[in-house]
Amino acid sequence: MYTYVVRAVRADEWVSVKELRLLALRDPVAPIAFLETYEVAAARPDSFWQERAAGAAEGTDGVRQFVAEAEDGQWAGTVTVLVEEAGTVDWAGFPVERRQGHVVGVYVRDEWRASGLTRALLDAAVDWSWELGLGRVRLIVHEKNLRAQGAYRKAGFIPSGRTVPMGQGTAENEYEFVLERPEASDR
């Protein structure tokens, strides 16, 4: 197995950002893992991917995309953190009570699963959130995505008890998982 480094994307890496996202959207679990379809993403113009990479790169505020880059240069996986401001309302209509991180777009290539790489990506996302002084980090995971739930639990996330209905005519739910910022003395 090759080794890898976890780092933030660079603003000019939009082609790689697009390629990895399209690969993720072709994963068999994509319908329960991501809100976007492959067809919608594939039809987006280059400007969309250019803006996405630039907006999530090192040095920007509010969004940070991390990738695990293997020794051969291939991107093995990714996570993105969105900063949610207190006093706003989230996409599901719930109030955001504290400034917090929201982890989205979690994807690891098949050959890198169960290798520890997912944990390294999640740790990078969490560390960045604590560096920003965020009070907690959360994510939303489908009730049937048991593998993802297992990976999140291993990284310290636990269900908050909040359930988000999928809507769109299904009775399926998603769960909110959270990781509270440790007290300074625990870190």
Ligand X SMILES: CC(C)(COP(=O)(O)OP(=O)(O)OC[C@H]1O[C@@H](n2cnc3c(N)ncnc32)[C@H](O)[C@@H]1OP(=O)(O)O)[C@@H](O)C(=O)NCCC(=O)NCCS
Contact residues for ligand X (CB under 6 A)?
27, 29, 33, 106-108, 113-114, 118, 141, 145-148, 150-151, 154
Shortest spacing between CB 142 and ligand X, in angstroms: 7
16 HSE (CA, 13 A, CB side)? 19
Shortest spacing between CB 166 and ligand X, in angstroms: 13
Shortest spacing between CB 15 and ligand X, in angstroms: 21
Shortest spacing between CB 184 and ligand X, in angstroms: 28
Q: Are 126 and 85 contacting, i.e. CB atoms less than 8 angstroms apart?
A: no
Binning the chain into helix, strand and coil, the percentages to the nearest 5 are 35, 30, 35
Nearer to ligand X by Cβ, of 168 and 185: the residue is 168
Shortest spacing between CB 155 and ligand X, in angstroms: 9
Ranked by CB distance to ligand X, the top (closest) residue is 150
Nearer to ligand X by Cβ, of 134 and 148: the residue is 148
Nearer to ligand X by Cβ, of 106 and 137: the residue is 106
- How far apart (Å, rounded) are the C-alpha atoms in residues 95 and 88? 6
Shortest spacing between CB 87 and ligand X, in angstroms: 26
Q: How far, CA to CA in Å, does 1 sit from each of 24, 70, 78?
A: 21, 10, 18
Nearer to ligand X by Cβ, of 53 and 148: the residue is 148
Nearer to ligand X by Cβ, of 60 and 115: the residue is 115
Residue 88: φ, ψ to 5°? -95, 175
- How far apart (Å, rounded) are the C-alpha atoms in residues 79 and 9? 10
Q: How is residue 169 written in tokens?
A: 């005519």
Nearer to ligand X by Cβ, of 53 and 139: the residue is 139
- How far apart (Å, rounded) are the C-alpha atoms in residues 129 and 14? 23
